[in-house]
Amino acid sequence: MKVNIEEIAPCRKKITVELSVEEVNKSFADSFANVVKYAQLPGFRQGHVPKKILERKFADSIKDEVKGNLFQKGFYEGLKENDLTPFGEPDIKVEDLNPEKGKEFSFTTEVDVRPQFELAEYKSIKLTEEVEEVSDEVLNERMELLQARFANYDEKEGEAKKNDLVEGNVTVVIGEEEIFKDQERALRVEGTTLLGIEIGDLEKHFVGTKKGDVKEIKFVAADDYPKEELRGKDGVATINVTKILEEKIPALDDDFAKKIGMDSIEKLSSTIKESIEAEKKNAARQKTEESLMDALIEANPFDLPEGLVTSQAEANFQQQQMQMMMSGMNPESLKLSKEELQEQSKKDADRQIRKMIIFDQISEKEEITITDADFNMHIAQLSQAYKTTPEKLLRNIKQQNGLGSIQHEIVDIKTTKLLLESADITEVKIKADKVEDNA
């Protein structure tokens, strides 16, 4: 077998394979031997059908098998001999090949291949991890949110104020269609949306409302309203007010702390601060991982197959559009144009592929493997995130042929851990306003 490899573009090879008469004849003989061994025809015992009958009866299937075998031998062995790893499928239709017994056989194809480069030093990378300090303001805001979660509402006389609840019988009509009707619905006097519909400043509409009032709020259905036929149509929300409910926020004292399982307000404050600090630390670590990836990409320059980046960018773009639609967002309503989204998808794809290639080399060099414990722990964590059982999640993954992706995720996680543990990380405490300035 002769293999000639020509580079026609960065990471794209033109491969020409020539197989000798002997190799072709052997492939035909091997395929025919399989037919002899397993063929069954009426009137003949298995393994005793005359050769000429078998050759005539199974000529097409023998040739199809020979096509595949010769291509596999020539293409994949040729790549292996030249230490090349294919990215994607070769640009060839195997069914169009035409090997003939007693003749040499050759074919030419093109394929994207994995970039070849010498891996730069990846341990002891110097990184700065900026961890935001927890200010008194942030802590107080979190405490106030906790207070609000435990607020009670008592009916009151008089006018509604901000943060009160207006309770009443609610009807919403857009165009000629009644889209909502409910009795004793409580509406908060703040924000700009009513039952998920953008209608303007609710504080402006509801402050000063009293029991017995009838409020009519006119609006226009937004361009991204879920029902396309109602977009841009005039709407009206009618509220017959039956109650005004006043928010009663509990005091931040020891009694409040004990209601939620803490010994004192000091202990509650300390616990919440520790929780926020952990959040800030996790956020900082995520940025450090991105900085680590930046350093590795900068230290390991190599070309990428343009076709691979393009296909991954398109997949990213389609996934982004799908996620927007599933969340109720109209992609066309974004300020970014389609071209800008596609350009961002291409940048993301380039980074994803570079990370995959670099991590694959590191994990191979470090001989990172997956144990049963690694796999089971990862599935357990994913099942918690998706709010399902590990058994159900694993069954779904297998049905979608996703085991390979899960295994790759685990190797990436272990590789990231190794890199971070070996990195030279300097932690720096920063104030919140510095984070905002850098954003």
pLDDT at 47: 59
Backbone angles phi, psi at 113, to 5 degrees: -125, 160
pLDDT at 184: 86
Of 61, 96, 113, the residue that ends a domain is: 113
Residue 254 lies in a domain: no
Res 438 pLDDT > 60 = no
Mean pLDDT to the nearest integer, 379-398:
93
pLDDT at 49: 63
pLDDT at 429: 92
- Give the CA-trace dihedral at 343, 346, 351, 353, to 10 degrees: 180
**Concatenated DSSP letters of 1-38:** -EEEEEEEETTEEEEEEEE-HHHHHHHHHHHHHHHHHH
pLDDT at 317: 82
Tokens linked to 302: 């190599």
Of 196-205, 267-276, 288-297, 349-358, the least confident: 196-205
Residue 8 lies in a domain: yes
- Statement to judge: residues 167 and 300 lie in one domain: no
Of 223, 248, 273, the residue that ends a domain is: 248
- Statement to judge: residues 217 and 182 lie in one domain: yes
Of 109-123, 222-236, 374-388, the least confident: 222-236
Q: Kindly report the pTM of this predicted structure.
A: 0.70
pLDDT by residue (tens digit) across 247-264? 899 999 999 999 999 999
Res 413 pLDDT > 70 = yes
Mean pLDDT to the nearest integer, 400-422:
94
- Statement to judge: residues 156 and 238 lie in one domain: yes
The Cβ of residue 365 has, within 10 Å, a number of other Cβ atoms equal to 10
- Statement to judge: residues 205 and 282 lie in one domain: no
- Statement to judge: residues 281 and 369 lie in one domain: yes
pLDDT at 439: 35
Residue 127 lies in a domain: no
- Statement to judge: residues 240 and 268 lie in one domain: no
Full residue range of the structural domain in which residue 410 is found: 263-438
Counting the structural domains of the chain, the total is 3
pLDDT at 336: 57
The Cβ of residue 107 has, within 10 Å, a number of other Cβ atoms equal to 21
pLDDT at 343: 85
CATH number at residue 162: 3.10.50.40
356 closest CA partner among 348, 403, 318:
348
- Statement to judge: residues 243 and 283 lie in one domain: no
Res 278 pLDDT > 60 = yes
pLDDT at 46: 60
pLDDT by residue (tens digit) across 297-349? 999 999 998 888 888 888 888 877 777 666 656 555 555 567 777 888 899 99
- Statement to judge: residues 315 and 185 lie in one domain: no
pLDDT by residue (tens digit) across 51-91? 777 777 778 888 999 999 999 999 999 999 888 989 888 98
- Statement to judge: residues 104 and 20 lie in one domain: yes
Mean pLDDT to the nearest integer, 1-11:
90
3-state DSSP call for residue 202?
helix
3-state DSSP call for residue 372?
helix
pLDDT by residue (tens digit) across 82-106? 889 898 889 899 888 999 999 999 9
CATH number at residue 417: 1.10.3120.10
Give the span between the Cα atoms of 281 and 284, in whole angstroms.
5
**Higher local confidence (pLDDT), 332 or 413:** 413
- Statement to judge: residues 269 and 214 lie in one domain: no
Cβ-Cβ contacts under 8 Å for 362 (sequence gap 6 or more): 119, 122, 368, 415, 418, 419
CATH number at residue 73: 3.30.70.1050
pLDDT by residue (tens digit) across 160-219? 998 889 999 999 999 999 998 988 888 888 888 877 788 888 888 889 999 999 999 999
